[in-house]
Amino acid sequence: MFTDSLVTLSESGEELGFFTIRIQPGYYELDEHEEEKCFLVHASSQGAIDGVPCGTSLTAHISHKLETLEQYLHEYNKFKGYSLDKKTHMTRQGDNLVINRVITKGEKLCHETSSHSLNSLTGFISEAANFLVLRLLSRRKIVEPLAFLTFDEETNLCISTYANLGSRSQVIGKETVPVFGIEREICSADVPSTWQCFFLDDGHLSSRVQVGSPVTIKLTQMPILSEPDEKDPKPVFEKKPLDWKEDLQLQSEFMDRKEELISEHETYLRHHPEIKLLLADFMQFLLLRKPSDTIEFAAEYFKSFSASQESDEPFMSSQR
């Protein structure tokens, strides 16, 4: 559907890292026999702030009603002497939204599990759904302020507001273009945070900054702007009788298509493009960390995605 690729810049204009968002159609497996069409959201960043290497990786399935079906967030910071690593997995289980967190600070490991009734989450917008909301509001040029439920950094429920910042000009590459701004504030009781985002007319993200942060995320090259969809005239074809059993070419095409459809592997990958994204994230963190034991590192990284885990696993279910 769309991809945004931006660069993280310091106050002096030095390039510090990157920020990307990719949203595409996907499927979410509800059970063994049912799947739901949804948006597959993937966002990632990597760089250094004040000399501290850091990064995030976000993968989520968001329904067409902007409901969060599942979300996985991985954040890390590599300070001098120790690393801080946070993994947060959010998924629906029955009538609840269950949140599992694994926080590693140096050698200290902490597991946390919490859940919220779906009835209490009416109007909830997760971090992944937020990217869809921002694009939608920017294209519709939001005027009145809006408020939704969300989670703060510690996964506490709070209010998130969206407000109009108006229009301004931004230099992108060699062009000066109009952009439209939206301010999002997460009204956490602990540490409130405010983000200011600006968008091109077609919804591409042009800049993003957290108020008080020393870095800014900006678009440095103009993307190919999407044009409003125009319906092509419907072609008219003369109807001809077709009998695939008698036509060798049609019969061959039919058999080829039949073999393609019964291939479980191809069907699974076609319906679950997040597999490629997860593998790409794993390779990125593998190259970054350079562990001595690759097998153990891979097992630790992917165990949070296991559908069945022992009780001592970090992402165990709270449902018994």
Rounded CA-CA distance 259/129 in Å is 37
Angle CA 189–76–280, to nearest 5: 125
pLDDT of residue 130: 97
Residues whose CB falls within 8 Å of the CB of residue 306, separated by 6 or more in sequence, listed in order:
313, 315
In a domain, 142, yes or no: yes
pLDDT of residue 319: 42
Domain holding 53, by residue range, is 2-218
Cβ–Cβ < 8 Å for 20, 8: no
pLDDT of residue 230: 52
Q: Is 145 exposed, middle or buried (0-12, 13-18, 19+ CB in 10 A)?
A: exposed
Task: Give the residue carrying structure tokens 């049609």.
Answer: 250
pLDDT of residue 233: 61
pLDDT of residue 317: 37
In a domain, 271, yes or no: no
Count of domains in the chain?
A: 1
In a domain, 54, yes or no: yes
pLDDT of residue 51: 86
pLDDT of residue 311: 44
In a domain, 19, yes or no: yes
In a domain, 246, yes or no: no
Rounded CA-CA distance 277/58 in Å is 10
In a domain, 241, yes or no: no
In a domain, 214, yes or no: yes
pLDDT of residue 320: 39
In a domain, 244, yes or no: no
Which segments of the chain have a pLDDT < 50? 311-320
